[in-house]
């Protein structure tokens, strides 16, 4: 799952080697914290949060496929 999140984020950024994914657990939910280079932050969030929202939906759908509950949190 972590690699999946990393791949999706890599589609969006200029500096893929600066991506850091930190898995955290919050109750039943796995939260993948996403860290990217400062200049890429806007790209990952998108206008009015559109990109972040798309990322979250796809990760949540994928996690259901793996019978777990996961989401992403973009850390600024």
Q: Which residues bind another protein (CB under 8 A)?
A: 3-4, 7-8, 11-14, 43, 47-48, 50-51, 53-55, 57-58, 61-62, 64-66
| Shortest spacing between CB 24 and another protein, in angstroms | 21
| Minimum CB distance to another protein smaller for 16 or for 35 | 16
Q: Is 23 left (phi over 0), alpha (psi -120 to 50) or beta?
A: beta
Buried b (16+ CB within 10 A) or exposed e, 12-43: bbeeeeebebeeeeeeeebbbebbbbeebeee
| Shortest spacing between CB 64 and another protein, in angstroms | 6
| Minimum CB distance to another protein smaller for 3 or for 17 | 3
Question: How does DSSP classify residue 48?
Answer: G
| Minimum CB distance to another protein smaller for 13 or for 19 | 13
């Amino acid at each position: 799952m972590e690699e999946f999140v990393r791949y999706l984020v890599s589609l969006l950024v200029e500096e893929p080697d600066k991506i850091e994914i930190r898995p955290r657990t919050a109750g039943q939910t796995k939260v993948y914290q996403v860290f990217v280079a400062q200049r890429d932050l806007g790209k990952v969030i998108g206008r009015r949060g559109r990109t972040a929202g798309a990322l979250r939906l796809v990760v949540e759908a994928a996690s259901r496929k793996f019978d777990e509950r996961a989401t992403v949190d973009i850390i600024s």
